[in-house]
Amino acid sequence: MYKQNHDRIAALIPTYTATGDTTTIINTNGSTQTHNTSIHTVLRHLARSQATDLIALKHKAACATGRTILQPLALAPGLVLCPFKVRIPRVAGDTSIGYINFHAVISVTTNPNKPYQSTIKLTGGTERSVLWTPGTVKRYLKDARLVISYTTPDTTMRPELAMIAQKQVEVMYDLLMFQSQLLRRSPDHDLMHILP
């Protein structure tokens, strides 16, 4: 299952069922499958199917993002798993983290149903509620873009220059997002003519 269908995975969600702590795999067509194993076991199987060492993959992601924990996992083309807090554990030691495929994310919106703070809409019409704010979710999605650029560098550019270029792109993106928020809040629509 893992090797043939890795590009159709939209999310891996830890789920409590009558049989205990399991993993629900949400596919990009909206269908779901439940596996009677932990999410960590599913991740190990996915990594093994791609002949990938998870520890080395996390280290490479940490170099790209500067984060020491909760790394996006670029397991295969079309499968970059972003970690998100999706549940409150019932038992100590159970994980609260699920993974959503960066390539399957359509939108992120505010969720009014507490304790959830965000809703991530996925391809296939599926929505997943998460406990983090939309701002935090978007930061993790931005980290996934960094990991993608870090793991598939331009062969004509020196690696250190590629990272600088990617950081510049991220800064410009943040500035543009900030500017567009200011424009939306401004009562003076002529402000757009003043701004560069």
pLDDT digits (tens, 9 = 90+) for 23-66: 999 999 999 998 899 999 999 998 888 888 888 888 888 888 88
* The predicted structure's pLDDT at residue 55: 85
Cα 97 from Cα 85, distance rounded (Å): 4
Pairwise pLDDT comparison (166 vs 191), residue with the higher score: 166
| Cβ atoms < 10 Å from Cβ of 147 | 24
Q: Where are the domains of the chain?
A: 2-103+133-152
Quick one: average pLDDT of 148-168? 63
Pairwise pLDDT comparison (106 vs 170), residue with the higher score: 106
For residue 106, give the nearest of 182, 11, 181 by alpha carbon. 11
Question: How much is the mean pLDDT over the chain?
Answer: 81
Torsions phi, psi of 45, nearest 5? -65, -40
The whole-model pTM stands at 0.73
120, 132 contact by CB (below 8 A): no
For residue 76, give the nearest of 37, 40, 49 by alpha carbon. 49
Torsions phi, psi of 121, nearest 5? -90, 130
